[in-house]
Amino acid sequence: ATKAHIKLNTKKLYQADGYAVKELLKVTSVLYGAMNTKGVERADVSEEDSSKFKFDLGSKIADLKAARQLASEITSKGASLYDLLGKEVELREARTESIARPLEINEAEKTMKIAIDCVLEQVQKTKDMLNNVALDEANLEAKIEKRKLELERSQKRLQTLQSVRPAFMDEYEKIEEQLQKQYSSYLEKFHNLTYMEQLLDDHRRTEQEMFEEAANMLRLMQNRLKEEEQRLLQSRNDDDSDIEIQEDEGSDSEVEDRQIMKQRIASGTLLQG
């Protein structure tokens, strides 16, 4: 900025707001003008140079990412620096008061003694803690030794118990053999029982199927008998109707005969008269 004769307000830059953008525009306007002046020269660049430039630009993507990260860090640092500069007024007054105040040897000596006493107290506390750690370590070692002795005793007792055969072991083995036999017989009986139950279920199923088949046959026979009875009844009704028709025809012939006889009698009486 000094070589380009550009004046920048650093406080506004550290604010990281619109005023900072205005300050940055001073630099960017100069750079933009320089790029415009070099536009004619860049137009004369050959295609090979442009391809090389593109290749170099593509190969430095990592640098661009790093630059972006640095830019974000710069903005965050600038914001924090702006906040600190805002507190400079209050801190300046406190600093000037502390500098203007005359240094008293007695007060400095008191503060140094207080600090030394605090340090000595902390040292004593650490020593006590170290001593306590040593005591705790000794106690733990004693407990460990005691536990080791108890473990050795228990292991020896276990070995003696394992080596000695108890008096009831023979009886236990006999009972175990009997139990094994009983269990094997139980398994055999259980298998036989399940097999017999399966056979019984199959037999019941077959009987049920046979019963259902017999019931179906009986139902079919009953239906057939009913159909035959209905047929017989229909045939009987047809025969009765034929007989009635014949009887009606006979009665008509008798009436006609009677009428003929009456006519003959009437004609005979007329002749006699």
| Digit-coded pLDDT (tens) for 169-192 | 888 888 999 999 999 999 999 999
CA distance 215 to 208: 10
Is pLDDT of 47 > 80?
no
Per-position b or e across 120-152, b if 16+ CB within 10 A of its CB? eeeeeeeeeeeeeeeeeeeeeeeeeeeeeeeee
CA distance 29 to 13: 16
Q: What is the mean pLDDT of residues 54-72?
A: 72
pLDDT for residue 204: 93
Q: What is the mean pLDDT of residues 215-232?
A: 88
Q: Which is more confident, 260 or 204?
A: 204
Is pLDDT of 270 > 80?
no
At 214, phi and psi to the nearest 5? -65, -40
Per-position b or e across 251-262, b if 16+ CB within 10 A of its CB? eeeeeeeeeeee
Q: What is the pLDDT of residues 226-268, one digit of tens each?
A: 888 888 888 877 766 665 555 555 555 555 666 666 555 555 5
CB 15 within 8 A of CB 81: no
Q: What is the pLDDT of residues 79-94, one digit of tens each?
A: 888 888 888 888 888 8
pLDDT for residue 161: 80
Element (H, E) at 146: helix 105-163
Structure-token pair, residue 126: 């650490």
Q: Kindly report the average pLDDT of the chain as a whole number.
A: 78
Structure-token pair, residue 97: 């008061």
Chain centre to alpha carbon of residue 101: 70
Tell me the pLDDT band of 52, cut-offs 50, 70 and 90: very low
Tell me the pLDDT band of 32, cut-offs 50, 70 and 90: confident
**Whose CA is closest to 6, among 36, 20, 23, 82?**
23
pTM of the model: 0.27
Is pLDDT of 115 > 60?
yes
Chain centre to alpha carbon of residue 61: 41
**Residue written as tokens 């630099």?**
27
**Share above pLDDT 70 across residues of the chain, in percent, rounded to a whole number:** 75
pLDDT for residue 241: 64
Per-position b or e across 156-177, b if 16+ CB within 10 A of its CB? eeeeeeeeeeeeeeeeeeeeee
**Share above pLDDT 90 across residues of the chain, in percent, rounded to a whole number:** 24
